[in-house]
Amino acid sequence: MLNDKKALIENLLKFGYIKTEKVRKAMETVDREKFIPNELKPYAYLDRPLPLEEGQTISAPHMVAVICEKLELEEGMNVLEIGTGFGYNAAVISEAMNKKGQVYSVERIESLANKALENLKKTGYGETVDVLIGDGTLGYDKGAPYDRIYGTAGSPYIPESLKKQLKVGGRLIIPVGDKLGFQDLICIVKESENEFREKSLGEVVFVPMIGKHGWSEK
């Protein structure tokens, strides 16, 4: 069946993208069809990225599951997302924390941010996800420090401001690499104010992170 959430989740479990009960529950609870344009709703539960607006995409479900697992979320955490899109990933993160804790999500394109806010409000995440319009490569100082930070757009390097806004013991996940090709999904653990342990989670393809510490628009 085309629009089969149950089958999608079974596959994500089978292929090891979903590993924990909290991520399974979050992916099951959040309806992806409520975060995509109307005409694409029949394709909501295919494991594929889908176009949003302005050349942006909603990440594939397996990518959302991987990020959610690797962040090792716990209830009550303070989380920063760069690249809200239509809000789906942020909703899954909030749900994985049982809506206990705060997600700040920065989006540079105003029309997407507004749509995300509307989607998040309608689905019950209006309180636990804050959508901010701006350049996420600068982080979001007002919500800092963060237990977890993740980027859903690919950057040429890891923005220093994000490392700074991370708590000691915190984790940062961000794709780093080519503007239009592949990136390495990097996970960083902040071991002390200026020591970071870095590891690669594998090759990925994300839209470019456009901003002061990302790519230029042209």
Residue 44 φ/ψ region, left for φ over 0, alpha for ψ in the -120 to 50 degree band, beta for the rest: alpha
Interface pattern 95-124 for ligand SAH (x via CB under 6 A): -----------xxxx--x------------
Residue 175 phi, psi dihedral angles, 5° rounding: -75, 130
- DSSP, collapsed to helix, strand or coil, labels residue 81 as strand
Burial of 194 (0-12, 13-18, 19+ CB in 10 A): exposed
207 in contact with ligand SAH (CB under 6 A): yes
The only residue of 17, 32, 57, 125 in contact with ligand SAH, by rule CB under 6 A: 57
Listed in sequence order, the DSSP H helices in the chain are 5-14, 21-29, 61-70, 88-96, 110-122, 160-164
Please indicate whether residue 105 is annotated as part of the active site. no
Q: Which residues contact 11 (CB under 8 A, 6 or more apart)?
A: 47
45 in contact with ligand SAH (CB under 6 A): no
CB atoms within 10 A of CB 38: 7
Q: How far apart are CA 98 and CA 118, in angstroms?
A: 20
183 in contact with ligand SAH (CB under 6 A): no
The only residue of 9, 27, 30, 56 in contact with ligand SAH, by rule CB under 6 A: 56
89 in contact with ligand SAH (CB under 6 A): yes
210 in contact with ligand SAH (CB under 6 A): yes
Q: How far apart are CA 180 and CA 203, in angstroms?
A: 13
153 in contact with ligand SAH (CB under 6 A): yes
161 in contact with ligand SAH (CB under 6 A): no
Residue type, 25: K
- What is the separation of C-alpha 4 from the centre of its chain, rounded to a whole number of angstroms? 23
211 in contact with ligand SAH (CB under 6 A): yes
Q: Which window, 11-19, 39-47, 56-64, 175-183, contacts ligand SAH (CB under 6 A)?
A: 56-64
172 in contact with ligand SAH (CB under 6 A): no
162 in contact with ligand SAH (CB under 6 A): no
For ligand SAH, the closer of residues 69 and 107 by Cβ is 107
Q: Residue 43 has which token pair? A: 């394709």
For ligand SAH, the closer of residues 61 and 197 by Cβ is 61
Site for ligand SAH in 59-78 (CB under 6 A): 59
Q: Which residues bind ligand SAH (CB under 6 A)?
A: 56-59, 82-85, 88-89, 106-109, 112, 135-137, 152-153, 207, 209-211, 214
The residues assigned a catalytic role are 59
